[in-house]
Amino acid sequence: MNIILLGPPGAGKGTQAQRLVERRGMRQLSTGDMLRAAVKAGTPVGLEAKAVMERGELVSDEIVSRLIDAELTAMGADTGAIFDGYPRTEAQAQALDEILAAHGRKLDYVIELDVNEDALVERITGRFTCANCGEGYNDDYKRPAQLGVCDRCGSTEFKRRPDDNEQTVRTRMAEYRAKTAPILPIYEARGIVHQINGMAEIDQVTQAIETILAG
């Protein structure tokens, strides 16, 4: 199964993708995570992407499509893919069609997380993750049970993304509206888009996704 999770930054795509990974043994393909890893490793892709990401703008279509192609090549053909944060432009949507065809895969579902933008800014600027295991937290919605200690792995190191500040978040939202939201009709024409309320509780969103995938 191959699915796209679509929605503006902070809609909960990463959280839901992680749950699908745990429940269904699928693989999360997050171009944002891949780019952050490239920036951290100081690869040529990382060097090119760093400043663009810090401004909240989009990295080139060629770079991200190449990253996705490489990940699919490295994956077992039977493992389902969850595209998280890709495609983000019409050119990427076209590239994804070609990449999937080349790998003998087809797109089953596009799940759009419907959210209120103003609430998202608060959600994003409050978020942080465990530096060791990547578990996600939020100042307002989900603090560690014991202050300063990760619930999952016990680490006391946490980190925040440099692009999770209000100004950059506003740019990321504008990029979503201008370049990503317009790709929805491509998938609507194929009858594979399902909208769900991304402002619901995390568990309810997961349940809604499971219902769609079971259908």
**What does the alpha-carbon distance between residue 71 and residue 78 come to, in Å, rounded to a whole number?**
14
The smaller minimum CB distance to ligand AMP, of residues 18 and 147, is found at 18
Task: Check 36, 50, 88, 123 and give the catalytic one.
Answer: 88
Residue 70 C-beta: closest distance to ligand AMP, Å: 14
Reply yes or no on whether 127 is catalytic.
yes
- Which residue of 86, 109, 128, 187 would you call a contact of ligand AMP, by CB under 6 A? 86
Helix 61-74 vs helix 90-102: crossing angle, to nearest 10: 20
CA distance readout (Å), 126 to 5, 27, 47, 151, 205: 22, 26, 27, 18, 20
- Which residue of 4, 20, 29, 58 would you call a contact of ligand AMP, by CB under 6 A? 58
Give residue for tokens 């509206």: 177
Reply yes or no on whether 123 is catalytic.
no
Binding-site residue total for ligand AMP (CB under 6 A)? 17
Q: What's the half-sphere exposure (Cβ side, CA atoms, 13 Å) at 164?
A: 15
**What does the alpha-carbon distance between residue 101 and residue 6 come to, in Å, rounded to a whole number?**
20
Residue 186 C-beta: closest distance to ligand AMP, Å: 15
Sign of CA dihedral 128, 148, 205, 214: positive
The smaller minimum CB distance to ligand AMP, of residues 76 and 115, is found at 115
Reply yes or no on whether 172 is catalytic.
yes
User: Which residues participate in catalysis according to the annotation?
Assistant: 13, 88, 127, 161, 172
By the criterion CB under 6 A, which residues form the site for ligand AMP?
Answer: 9, 31-32, 35, 52-53, 56-59, 64, 85-86, 88, 92, 163, 172
